[in-house]
Amino acid sequence: MAGKKVLIIYAHQEPRSFNGSLKKVAVDELHKQGCTVTVSDLYAMDFEPRATRKDITGPLSNPKFFSYGVEAYEAFKKRSLTSDILDEQKKVQEADLVIFQDKLALLSITTGGTAEMYAKTGVSGDFKYFLWPLQHGALHFCGFKVLAPQISFAPEFASEEERKAMVASWAQRLKTIWKEDPIPCTPSWYFGQ
Amino acid sequence: MAGKKVLIIYAHQEPRSFNGSLKKVAVDELHKQGCTVTVSDLYAMDFEPRATRKDITGPLSNPKFFSYGVEAYEAFKKRSLTSDILDEQKKVQEADLVIFQDKLALLSITTGGTAEMYAKTGVSGDFKYFLWPLQHGALHFCGFKVLAPQISFAPEFASEEERKAMVASWAQRLKTIWKEDPIPCTPSWYFGQ
């Protein structure tokens, strides 16, 4: 949809990978719609995933007993978090899709295992089980409305044709992404009745 | 049990924290039993959590298309993984408790939320839900036999006395830890019927 801002948080090390293709079609399709698209390419940025006291610049609020939650909250108020965190927070705040509060988020994931392995009775259990901590524990907790995930199962074991079909179905879905309703992010969505 | 080797993988930044106390009683109790105890203090070690091409020393097996799984497997065979990874692999291989294959593992976790919040009908859902990717997806998948988790709920909101009781119950459990049977690490343990 023209004018919308989309942030893609991308985490794969090989640009020529299947994940790279999924990212590319998303950028292309959303550009075609007139969206502004920002990509946070975490590996290319060498993004620091550890939450440590190095995230706080300047003096600690309680240097005798380090609590990450307390210090990060104080530093957030004083804007004394490190610049890599401030930069990402700004991107999230500005985005309409993938955004911090009361906006939309969508997980696009590729798996190693096949769809059968991620069935309720498969060796890996229902794929929704591993989405729970991410979609519910992190995204829903932070106030996101969560769109249905886009799961591309086992591209490694798929034929070239199947892979192209997966990429195409992702591009197709993005055409009408702005009309989708969020999922009900409740235990029953994840774990059945 | 005398002679057993135990590896404690410890991830907390403040030694004077409740987590620090839990680690300390575990080291003390296991030493008392005559165990050899090794602690991997991940924050103190500044342990690198990112899985990147920096983990592989020497030339890549396929520099034109980087696949972490392929490269790590080849590097493992050639022993050309970085030394911090080799060191941790060695500790895991040598341990009887927390060990790589067909041995025992136990998650000792403190939560921010209370036990009520982590009930099936609580805002965070059953605490077993967030254990699934860790205990089943990671530990069980790697061949661990998984002991019941030790969950210390919301020490931040507990009284000093309640906290001491939690630490004491952890120390008490460790006295007979070697007699425990692993849990059945299956979907029904996590998600009920």
A189 near B CB under 8 A = no
Angstrom distance (rounded) from CA B133 to CA B69: 19
Burial label, B191 (beta-carbon count in 10 A; 0-12, 13-18, 19+): buried
The gap from C-alpha A104 to its chain's centroid, in whole angstroms, comes to: 11
Beta bridge pairs of residue A41: A10
Mean pLDDT of chain A: 87
Listed by start position, the domains of chain A span 5-47+99-189
**Average pLDDT for consecutive 10-residue bins of chain B (193 residues)?**
85 85 84 92 91 93 92 94 93 73 66 89 88 87 84 89 90 85 90 76
User: Rounded to an integer, what distance in angstroms lies between the CA atom of residue A129 and that of residue A113?
Assistant: 14
Measured between CA atoms, how close is A29 to chain B, in angstroms?
25
* Interface check A77 vs B, CB under 8 A: no
Write the residue in B65, B66, B133 that is nearest to A130 by C-beta: B133
Contact A14 B133 (CB under 8 A): no
Tokens of residue B21, six digits: 């106390």
- The predicted model gives A107-116 an average pLDDT of 84
pLDDT at B193: 57
pLDDT digits 0-9 by tens, A69-80: 899 999 999 999
Question: What residue has token string 């930044």?
Answer: B13
Q: Using a CB-CB distance cutoff of 8 angstroms, which residues of chain B are in contact with residue A130?
A: 132-133, 137
Greater confidence (A100 vs A133) lies with A133
The per-residue pLDDT for A193 is: 55
What is the tens place of the pLDDT at every residue in A15-38?
A: 988 878 888 888 888 889 998 999
Cα separation, B60 vs B66, whole angstroms? 8
**A68 closest CB neighbour out of B13, B49, B191:** B13
Q: Please tell me which residue of chain B has the smallest CA distance to A193.
A: B193
Closest-CA distance, A65 to chain B, in angstroms, reads 6
Taking domain B5-47+99-189, whether its CATH number is 3.40.50.360 is answered by yes
pLDDT at B54: 94
A93/A103 Cα distance (integer angstroms) = 10
Mean pLDDT of A102-111: 71
Give chain B positions within 8 Å (CB) of A191.
129, 191
* Calpha distance B49→B101 (Å, rounded): 21
ipTM over 0.90: no
Task: Say which of B68, B112, B125 has its CB closest to residue A13.
Answer: B68
Which amino acid makes up residue B109? I
The DSSP line for B160-190 is: HHHHHHHHHHHHHHHHTGGGPPPP--SHHHH
Q: Which of B125, B132, B187 is closest, CB to CB, to A136?
A: B125
What is the tens place of the pLDDT at every residue in A138-177?
A: 888 877 788 898 888 988 889 999 989 998 998 898 888 8
Picking from B14, B68, B135 by the largest number of A CB atoms within 10 A of its own CB, the best residue to mutate is B14
- The reply to whether residue A66 touches residue B124, judged by beta carbons under 8 angstroms, is no
Q: How far is the C-alpha of B193 from the C-alpha of B190, rounded, in Å? A: 9
A137–B66 C-beta distance less than 8 A: no
B137, A120: Cβ pair inside 8 Å? Answer: no
Whether pLDDT at A105 is above 80? no
Q: What is the predicted pLDDT for the residue at B100?
A: 36
- pLDDT tens digits, one per residue of A46-63: 999 888 999 999 999 999
At residue A56, the pLDDT reads 95
Shortest Cα distance, chain B CAs vs residue A31, angstroms? 27
